[in-house]
Structure 1
């Protein structure tokens, strides 16, 4: 049998490996012991039934040796049951060879390339069969080659892969790793020998490619100018015609490498078309989200915003089975769409999504409290940069683009800029005056508009479905998603839960601990007398995101080593033991948190505006009175700046200061004080002084006033106390 890298209790029992139990119950006990000692080597088992599975690294040495021995005997000699991973990899290699010009290879090059690819496939097969990593598998394979334990066909494959004279029955570990690296970087065609010599490209071309293969997509002329500036003087410089001839020798994909990202590159590669004809209804649901390309009225404050739509399609029939509209992308918008799909069409076996935060989170995937585990749904995630794998629902998003274009507030890239600006100004003016706008669709009208679009899609012929003969038009056409669903659902009974099951299945659950017949959630305290015997124990509580008046408390049970929500203990009601006299729901708590964050951001902006209006350096812009002097009777001048005169015929204005700083009548006075008192200058003073020096008119005014601009610049840079900075700037 083939042993994977992760084994469940039933697989351990059926493998009958030495040192391991042969009954399922004892195998469960073995996994439980490993989980207690090494929890990193145990993970929850995917699929229906639950339980745990253990890594092959946790098995005894004698069991691991037996796995390696079995792999050496069966990895290459049992083609009757190849793994799906090997089949997919082999098909991918075939598509690559067909699409990347292997017809230019000689017979010898093709033979060596195929032999090297077969060696790598053999090592991959041993990895899958033994559950070991690549390094021990490569060492085991090389030892088998050295000991002559391979059959004649396999040894012939190794000889052809070597492609050299002498002792061709040996391979180096570095050679194997180099082949793996080349295959991962440039594909299987790069395993053919003599490729770089065959291309006969000049030596300078690699350096040019480093300047040409940039995401900014420089032109050939621009990259060539940069290259010619970098070559040593006296070196012959290539011409643009020579560069173009060299680029013409390269395959299209090689020319685009580095100039486009992974996502754009994948659109040019070969792909596998998936066949959905054999899928039963509710076998696979595919979900995706999209931001609507038109503004609608917010259901709470009435302002313009773009809703987030989540759509769920049955992959076998292309029928939209569920959808939701939310204020932003979040988990509960996805759950609402899935709830509608389960209520109207049935519970799916597989839920296929991308790896976005709305689909991949604890609320969806947690073993104890996640929606997927409680509903018995197996989640499946698309790989990064692989949106084509969800092409069924990605293409559906085009109907939302058409729906948005039928609204006057469409803001997509196809909208005329002048019309877009006119609608924007009109809606904002109407909202400022009356609080509403006739151009802005209401929330209810938007939902009806989307519902009509989805109903039209389900009743429209779909090019991905089989063709039928329509008696009304007397010719063939493609089936509609509704017709495909009706045809497949005959004789099939989907699992449609009742309303009570739906409420419990899609109610969010969290883990909490009881205390004196109370459980706490979001600062609320919920009380039920039935919780008193469970004081200090962990329970799971379910809550309604919009209704905070009660929570559903359940026990925690263990089935096949997996913790799951158990029986309902009580429905605990809000009693106000904590902080609020009115309970706060999850939705309200999220809105308050978002409100506080937005308010804090706005307050920071207001503070910045206030600081711009009132710089600290200019405390008063009123004209200052001249320095008061008083002539005594003998004609002597007496300075009365800050000295209080005991007797004076008229009130004398005193020079006012704040914390020892005078009030500056103008910028020149401020600059002069800074030059005379550098030790009292603050960072705010330096910032304002830099603005004065950088402004041409003020700079001229300071120079004409006889101030030392070099000294002022040093003070602005804080270089008087740091001579090393002055030396660097000099």
Structure 2
């Protein structure tokens, strides 16, 4: 069907919602129309002149309602579109301009002679080659023919003049055959076999069309040409799901220019693409990393680690973030089970913020956190031997998997898998590096060291906002402390409770001897754990090795050792006198220190570092954060009495009062203290 009435078009994409609106639009744009056949009268409009989005809607509607076995194939001929109904191409515009030149020349000549005489004179000069160079160059172009042997004729010039008077210069533009966008009768059956989630190829769908429908059939080339005319959205309908199809549609680019820090926090969980050792079981596992990012500054304000995206992981990340960066305004998350639950809503309400959920299958709306996953977590995972991402070499991944499982089975620490503490330390370093690295989503500033323009880092954006008057709202300490931490159920024993290979003591637990309690622990600070009843009532904070004391005072132990040593020496002296018949003197000789292999390796490394320090001149890093780290390293070496090159000593003393050093130190303190070493994560 190539013609549609106003009633059929009303309400379609790109069309007004009423029949009168369609007619008004058709009249204003000069659509090609014809009288309807049968009762009712009225007009119907050609398919070729309709907007592209309306054509796509008609094609899709016809594909859904197409009969399974068409008996004939009728391919309508393409309609020629008038120049006034479409945008002109460059070729049409050149031809139109050339014809306008001849019309204007006739108008100038007609001021002195009649128009007929002017036309005849122009034709004669064209045949004799007497036209001006300007007009002579435009004869072939104005004729719009493939051959260059054509010249001007009286009839052609009169037609151009007539079209110019009726339609203006656009009436001189040549007509072009529009692409045939009508839907062949076989298209419906083909699309039913082609638009499937299995994504069959054109050849496979065409073969099914030939086998399962009655002839006549199109050729494979006809099918390909017709598919090329469809828009990507119309062509891929049914082959892509709701999430993937969004990549073909228009999108809204969200900006953060009007946001202040802590206005919007975006959170999401990501299963780490490398394996680490589980601190509880000693087995290999992939931890779930929950990141929270501030939309305005792109700063990672907090994170949490867990076995999976869960409520506890979200609460832990919120508690850590609020204690470091202050209160938030909006908590923007997806509809995952770790976020869409009453527990998280209650905590957000207590903190005075609001929670917003993105639409299903719309991860693009939270692209700011999705990008951070790739920039930080995926990049970190690829630096580990235990990486098992989709782009990991299969053979190498299989080998690493076998070796690590063999070592775990034998009770050894796999060389391919980092411990939980090692992973935690490296994650902190990656997050710290990200927060101090220029970010493309932030404004540009002039670098003080190089003088070039570069993007701000997240921490620079945060400090810049503070300089403009932003001040983070501090969360009440009791509210932060009451937020839930990852909890485990454990049985008490005489005031002690065991968690993650650590023994914690609390005097109040003596009254709960033999009972089960809930222990809230934090892998960032293993010095103490919170102990709660099974009903959630807090008992107190248990201290790591809180009841551990030396078996005896050190002085008493040493006194016993000295006495035992003297007695043994006395007995040896008496025995030697009996054997030799003479007095024997026993002396202690300090043996030559024998180093173990590990000690020798460490001594070799230290000697190598010393040689490198002697042979390598002292160089300053270009990055201000790296200079801050170098200064702290030198400061620690000087405090411990190590040998430091003279140039390094001079720079250390000179850089002590530099404003950059103080600024970076303040920023690092604002970003949190270094992680506490975790003794139970072996």
- What is the TM-score when the length of structure 1 is the normalising length? 0.46
Structure number with larger C-alpha Rg: 2
Q: Which has the higher contact order (CA 8 A, sep 6+)?
A: 2
- What is the TM-score when the length of structure 2 is the normalising length? 0.49
